[in-house]
Structure 1
């Protein structure tokens, strides 16, 4: 067993850490000010400029196959990159990527949707969740009624990331309710120009999801992604691929705020001593360090399994459940160590506090992860100790 990063992984990790420190962290005061004044933290123009800088460093299409112009660095490297990006709250993502299920498109669909998305010319959103169907994806109600060579879509999607900015959506709707969700739900590629509209949803954090409204939106049959009735399988592949991504980012956040807590504990003096000398503070720091380290290896293993072609769904749920709660606990402790200042908007801790609370909800709630983990064990799908064989 060798836990050492390869020379390539070390080099990439150092390069990204330098990029975050030199290009992103200096923007943090401006981002906080913009967000508090109701503006986007980073303008579209600046976001594009930052992506171009990253592209010149070779970071474009991190996990995109080389045949589409990507670096194809794999899931392990993606996890390491997300840990580094998590060290700042400046909204940034590397360009040159597309949703994994877009690769299931036919050649014409790839030309119209996949390649322009990879090149940054188009922007997508994943539209599954509805007001009455979150974790219970099979309970969606949106219908797609066939009319000649078209399907007519009616319904509403909610809490859709990038829904306000996207020019096309991957939309899941019933095409045959007699077959059940695993054979009756189909995925459609639906351009905004076809008639759907988005409405912003206000949240306690800076995540700005949307509600998507479909009223008699006509979609050509040629825009079906994958097989008819195979939509839910595509949806679960998209969701399952993303679950370990959340704790990976949470690790970066937790490491940054833990260092802030350590620095403050060493400099803040009460009753003649630094609060770092107080056992209550020491225990919060120690517990945070242990939980971060545990999350790191659970998450990296989930990414490694995916790279090896192994079924990582159980491990991804372990990572999502433990990592989402870890991030919340570490940020809460860091805020507590900072006392009253941690609660103010002078420091970014309250922003992180609001941001990480979402980690326990989206892409599968804590309760859903516990259900999946317990079901796998109770049904014998995964046996105790099996992951260590």
Structure 2
């Protein structure tokens, strides 16, 4: 069993690390200053310029099919690159990608939505969560009724990421209540100009999700994504395909925070010696390294199962649960090691502390991951050690 990286994987990882270090990390002080002024993220033109420079490095459409101009990299290689992105808290992502289910678009929809989204001239968001349907996606209530050549949408969506910048949304709505989620949910591509309204939700971290309101929003029948009644499988594909990405980013963030703690522990002196000589500090550093490496291999295993054409959901749930909790543990320990300085805004630790807390909630809470893992084992769909069978 060979755990070494290929030369190509190592080169791509190192190039991504160099780009993040040289081009993205220097933006951190300005980003923190912007956030303290009540502003959020990078200006759109600055983000686009960064993505253009990354494209010159060869980083464009990491997982996008080659037919659409993407690199179509193996998922495991993408995980290595997203770990490098996670080393900075600047909200940067490489260009040339979009919601994976948008590739289900027909030729007309590809021209109007998919290709502009890949080029960055139009932005999308995925809208499935509702006030009473978060972890339980089968409970969504937004209705869509047919009216001639249109569908009329009524209802609410909430905690929609990337919604503030979105030009259009992929919306899951109920088209046949009697069939339920197994055949009564449909996905629609809904332009903002069609009439949905939104408001930003204020959070404890840098995330700016939105609430969306649909009041008799008319959507042409040609804007159905996929087939009528097949919205739930599309929603689950969207969730399953990207769940490994959160813990991949978490690994990069944890690596950088732990490195900061190790350096500080070798410099800060108390009681005549560096704090790194104290056993309680050593225990925090050791526990962090063990959790970090454990999460890393769960993420790589989840990515590997995708590349092997296997169902990745069980491994992805374990990776998401492990990676999100690991990052929270390490952020807390790193702040503790830095003491009062870690709690100030002079260092970025408090900023990470607030951001990583979200990772245990969105795209499947810790509790949902545990539920999925346990149900797979109790039902016999998975067995202990099954991936080595």
- Range class of TM-score, shorter chain: over 0.9
The aligned counterpart of 1:216 is: 216
Tell me, in whole angstroms, the C-alpha distance in 1 between the residues paired with 2:189 and 2:47.
26
Given the two structures, how large is their TM-score scaled by the length of structure 2? 0.99
Confirm or deny: 8 A CA contact 1:30 1:41 kept in the other structure. Answer: no
* TM-fit CA distance, 1:40: 2.5
Question: RMSD of the TM alignment (CA)?
Answer: 0.7
Q: CA deviation at 1:41?
A: 3.3
Distance 1:179 1:130 in 2: 19
CA deviation profile, 1:159-210 (whole Å, cap 9, x unmatched): 0011111010000111000111121010000011111111100000000000
Structure 2: distance between partners of 1:361 and 1:344: 25
Equivalence for 1:102: 102
Q: Indicate if the aligned counterparts of 1:159 and 1:209 stay in contact, CA closer than 8 A.
A: yes
Paired with 1:336 and 1:294, the residues of 2 have a C-alpha distance of 22
Segments of 4+ moved more than 6 angstroms: none
Output the CA distance in 2 between the equivalents of 1:45 and 1:111.
23
Unaligned runs of 5+ in 2: none
Q: Across the two proteins, how many residue pairs are aligned to each other?
A: 389
Equivalent residues in 2 for 1:1-389 (5 A)? 1-389=1-389
For 1:36 and 1:368, how far apart are their aligned partners in 2? 34
State the distance in 2 between where 1:249 and 1:28 align. 17
Q: Deviations for 1:305-350, whole angstroms, at most 9, x for unmatched residues? A: 1011111100000101111100000110000000011111111101
The separation in 2 between residues aligned to 1:384 and 1:215, in whole angstroms, is 48
1:48-77 Cα offsets, whole Å, 9 max, x none, are 111110011111111111111111112111
Provide the C-alpha distance between the structure 1 equivalents of 2:74 and 2:111, rounded to a whole number of angstroms. 24
SS of aligned partner of 1:173: strand
**Bigger shift: 247-256 or 115-124?**
115-124
Tell me the distance in 1 between the aligned counterparts of 2:343 and 2:182.
46
SS at structure 2 position matched to 1:267: coil
1:216 partner SS: strand
The runs of 5 or more residues in structure 1 that have no matched partner are none
Q: TM-score, normalised by structure 1?
A: 0.99
Q: Do the aligned partners of 1:64 and 1:70 also contact (CA within 8 Å) in 2?
A: yes
How far off its partner does 1:115 sit? 1.1
